[in-house]
Amino acid sequence: MQESQIVTWSKKASFFCHVLAILPLLIGGLVYALRDTYLPYHAAATSHDWQTLEPGVQVLFKAMLNGAGGLMLLTSFILIVLLIIPFRQNERWSFWAIPLIGISAMLITIRAAVFVDVNTPANPPWLALLIVITLFISGFFLSYKKS
């Protein structure tokens, strides 16, 4: 059997870790990309309900939310393609590219969420993003395990 056809338990576990890490990015991307208003923690951060915001501020928030959601969706789709094609074909560059892209996206998101958490009364769900990073790191190490 060729090396590209060998699928070990660790490779399956790595694939599963990456899928679990990508799902919140994909779901969050859909939520933000399709959102017409901001989320409750955004209201807590601004101390304003959506309806009390000026129309121009609503447009600005909607554009930022939808843009962030679009970037999350794009990142998710890139990661899914990398998992389906080069990762499954044992292309070793994909073993590090997937977590590198995923962790980079999460660190940017965590930085923004922690900034909001520290400077406002809001409680954005940034701790959950640490679990996503842990899954990407686990997937990285499992992808290089030989058995």
Q: Note whether residue 92 is domain-resident.
A: yes
Number of domains forming the structure of the chain: 1
Q: Note whether residue 96 is domain-resident.
A: yes
Residue 35 dihedral angles phi and psi, to the nearest 5°: -75, 135
Convert the pLDDT of each residue in 23-42 to its tens digit.
Answer: 999 999 999 999 999 999 99
Q: Note whether residue 3 is domain-resident.
A: no
Q: Note whether residue 2 is domain-resident.
A: no
Q: Note whether residue 63 is domain-resident.
A: yes
- Predicted TM-score of the model (pTM): 0.90
- The token pair that represents 31 in the structure block: 């939520």
Q: Note whether residue 39 is domain-resident.
A: yes
Convert the pLDDT of each residue in 60-103 to its tens digit.
Answer: 999 999 999 999 999 999 999 999 999 999 999 999 999 999 99
Report the C-alpha gap between 116 and 110 in whole angstroms: 10
Which residue, chain included where needed, has tokens 């590219």? 97
Q: Which residues of 75-93 are buried (b: 16+ CB within 10 A; e: fewer)?
A: bbebbbebbeebbeebeee
Domain, as residue range, for 68: 8-144
Q: Note whether residue 140 is domain-resident.
A: yes
